[in-house]
Structure 1
Amino acid sequence: MQSLFSLFLNLHIIGGFTALLVFWVPIVTKKGGKVHRTAGWVYVAGMGTVSITALYMGIYRIITSDELGIVSFSWFLIFISILSGATAFYGIRVLKYKKRTAMHRNLLDLSFPLLLILSGIAIGIYGWMIQSPLITWFPLVGIFLGSTQLIYWLRKPVKKMHWWFEHLAGMLGCCIATITAFMVFGAPRLLNIETVNVFLWFLPTIFLTPVIIGYSVYYAKKFKVR
């Protein structure tokens, strides 16, 4: 079991660093171009690896450890895996159904936002019980993103280029999960820091949310969307 955990850990590190290296490329390159698409799929592959391996490692640590610190961060790791996986999946699926004209009732597409909302509520309550500010408040990001995804699927599209804006929000939401996970787990270990200010954990959300809004406003004007 330990050797399997080590394998998943190595895959997690490779996938995480791959995502961190390429996540900015689709943001700054021509949308829909070859570089944008190629880098986007590399990023999705990296985040898919991160999500699956994080889920396994979180469950493994919860089963094999009785230390509160390890268990609590394992639950947070599981939530990050759900957040990153759900947002990346959403960003891809909105492109697949960009021509839809009615409510979307695909069970697979609805289940991911629901899982994100429910897991966010559960992890937030758990964080409040153990008095962890990070685990209490950060899941609100997942609850918000899951709610907006669910509303999008259950509503009839009325806005021009609706899928464009949802793809943008989904993939940048996934970037929030990517950078947050690095700030919480990767950076402290690389720099040999035991504790990190809670504000730094929320910094990716604080920074990237205006980016999402800014891009949305820019493309709304470009496409002349009301």
Structure 2
Amino acid sequence: MEFLFNILKIVHIFGGFLALFVFWIPIVTKKGGRVHRISGWLYVGGMVTVAISAFYMGIYRIFLDPSTSSEDVSFSWFLIFIAILSSAAAYYGIRVLRFKKRKTRHRHALDLGYPLLLVFSGICMSVYGFLSDFPLLLWFPIVGILLGISQLFYWIQAPKKKMHWWFEHLAGMLACCISTITAFTVFGAPRLLGLESVSIIIWFLPTILITPLIIGLSIYYSKKFSGSNKTNVTHKK
């Protein structure tokens, strides 16, 4: 079991750095273009690798490693939650494209189950963070809870906005980026820089920076699409 843990740790690091290096490319390249699609799938592949390996490593540390300290247990639970959050966000970002032509409510079990898992795990992690006096686990899962609720509302309602899938894809993949960078600031950066402790503000910095980016891009593209529609109407007249 320890041998598998060490192998998956290497795989986890590789997948994490792959995701960290390519996550910005789909953001700045032409949407739907070849570079956007290739880099997007590379990012998703890296995050899937990270999520699966993180889930196993977290379980191993908590239940199978007798040398694990109480602090390691808390960080392992956070690692598991990040795995759920990142995979749920990436999965959502892909699935909204798959069903972009839908006109009615969506009832696919896995598409509803993943957000429910995200909400449930977020609530459990927040309670655990409160009981263990671990601020990161108390407050950060709220991001996952809100994200899971918004995903559920999107699926259970008939689409009301034109290009709805575009905005949901954008929100889902950028939410996944929050997970990528947060995981790096919590686990990777302190080890690479040799830091024993990091301010909780640094842990929340990716959320603080990327959330306004999601809102800003949504407003930008909403205006852009509205302008395109008006132009088309004018041409038709």
Give the shorter-chain TM-score range: over 0.9
Query: Which residue number in structure 2 is paired with residue 218 of structure 1?
Result: 220
Matched position secondary structure for 1:169: helix
The residue correspondences of 1:180-199 to structure 2 (distance < 5 A) are: 180-199=182-201
Cα deviation, residue 124, structure 1: 0.4
The amino acid of 1:20's aligned partner reads L
Unaligned runs of 5+ in 2: 230-237
The amino acid of 1:36's aligned partner reads H
The residue correspondences of 1:81-96 to structure 2 (distance < 5 A) are: 81-96=83-98
In 2, the alpha carbon distance for the partners of 1:157 and 1:140 equals 25
Query: Which residue number in structure 2 is paired with residue 54 of structure 1?
Result: 54
Query: Which residue number in structure 2 is paired with residue 30 of structure 1?
Result: 30
Cα deviation, residue 26, structure 1: 0.2
Query: Which residue number in structure 2 is paired with residue 126 of structure 1?
Result: 128
Residues 179-205 of structure 1: per-residue CA shift (max 9 Å, x gap)? 000000000000111100000000000
Q: Cα RMSD (Å) of the superposition?
A: 1.1
Matched position secondary structure for 2:195: coil
The amino acid of 1:187's aligned partner reads A
The residue correspondences of 1:107-146 to structure 2 (distance < 5 A) are: 107-146=109-148
Cα deviation, residue 9, structure 1: 0.3
Cα deviation, residue 67, structure 1: 1.7
* Identity between Structure 1 and Structure 2 (%): 63
1:208 corresponds to which of 207, 210, 219: 210
The amino acid of 2:160's aligned partner reads V
In 2, the alpha carbon distance for the partners of 1:80 and 1:195 equals 19
Residues 113-165 of structure 1: per-residue CA shift (max 9 Å, x gap)? 00000000000000000111111000000001001000000000010000000
Q: Which runs of 4+ in 1 moved over 3 A?
A: none
The residue correspondences of 1:147-186 to structure 2 (distance < 5 A) are: 147-186=149-188
Matched position secondary structure for 1:157: coil
Cα deviation, residue 106, structure 1: 0.1
Matched position secondary structure for 2:196: coil
The amino acid of 1:5's aligned partner reads F
Query: Which residue number in structure 2 is paired with residue 76 of structure 1?
Result: 78
TM-score, normalised via structure 2 length: 0.94
In 2, the alpha carbon distance for the partners of 1:69 and 1:131 equals 11
Cα deviation, residue 105, structure 1: 0.2
Residues 47-97 of structure 1: per-residue CA shift (max 9 Å, x gap)? 000000000000000012452101111001000000000000000000000
Residue 41 of structure 2 corresponds to residue 12 of structure 1: no
In 1, the alpha carbon distance for the partners of 2:82 and 2:110 equals 19
In 2, the alpha carbon distance for the partners of 1:202 and 1:155 equals 31
How many pairs were matched up?
Answer: 226
Cα deviation, residue 2, structure 1: 1.1
